[in-house]
């Protein structure tokens, strides 16, 4: 009888293991079932009493079950993580254990470089402008003002 029960237990664990431990639901593509758009992020900011914050970018985080939201609030960039249920928000750093890389810092640096605006100074005409210093100086500073 004991052998029968042990065999039955092993057999049932083998038969039901895929259902218990299988991924299921999203079928490993979480964006199939879960989404977070900028409007929903704005609603979360409002509930957190930071309505002036604006979502700049939303991506999957390195940790499953969390969205990574890059936002700007009063000229400052930040990053927060929102659960798939949209009930929980967390801030902080995510580190990859094997490489000791700070994934949060990497993401913020990348987001900052993607959204910076550059002006090609060589394309600005300076024929009618006020020139101070040497015309052929190695370094130049361009100042834009509006006198009105």
pLDDT of residue 21: 42
Q: Which contacts (CB < 8 Å, 24+ apart) does range 46-52 have?
A: 48/89
**pLDDT per residue of the chain (148 residues) written in tens, 0 to 9:** 566 555 545 545 544 444 444 445 555 666 667 889 899 999 999 999 988 999 998 988 888 889 999 998 888 888 999 999 999 999 889 999 999 999 988 888 887 665 555 566 677 777 777 878 887 888 878 777 777 6
pLDDT of residue 12: 52
3-state DSSP assignment of residue 12? helix
Q: Could you please report the per-residue DSSP string of 51-100? A: TT-EEEEEEE-SSTTEEEEEEEETTEEEEEEEETTSS-EE-S--EETTTT
pLDDT of residue 117: 56
pLDDT of residue 137: 86
pTM of the model: 0.57
pLDDT of residue 63: 87
In whole angstroms, give the CA distance from residue 59 to residue 87.
17
In whole angstroms, give the CA distance from residue 77 to residue 60.
18
In whole angstroms, give the CA distance from residue 105 to residue 113.
12
In whole angstroms, give the CA distance from residue 108 to residue 124.
31
pLDDT of residue 35: 85
């Amino acid at each position: 009888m004991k052998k029968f029960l042990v065999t039955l237990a092993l057999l049932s664990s083998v038969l039901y293991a895929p259902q218990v431990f299988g991924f299921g639901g999203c079928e490993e593509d979480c964006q199939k079932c879960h989404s977070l758009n900028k409007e929903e992020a704005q609603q979360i900011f409002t509930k957190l009493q930071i309505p002036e914050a604006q979502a700049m970018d939303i991506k999957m985080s390195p940790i499953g079950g969390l969205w990574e939201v890059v936002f700007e609030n009063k000229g400052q960039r930040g990053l927060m993580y929102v659960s798939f249920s949209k009930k929980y928000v967390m801030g902080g750093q995510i580190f990859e254990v094997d490489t000791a890389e700070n994934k949060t810092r990497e993401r913020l640096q990348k987001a900052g470089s993607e959204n910076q605006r550059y002006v090609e100074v060589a394309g600005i005409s300076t024929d009618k402008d006020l020139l101070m210093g040497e015309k052929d100086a190695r370094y130049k500073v361009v100042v834009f003002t509006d006198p009105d």
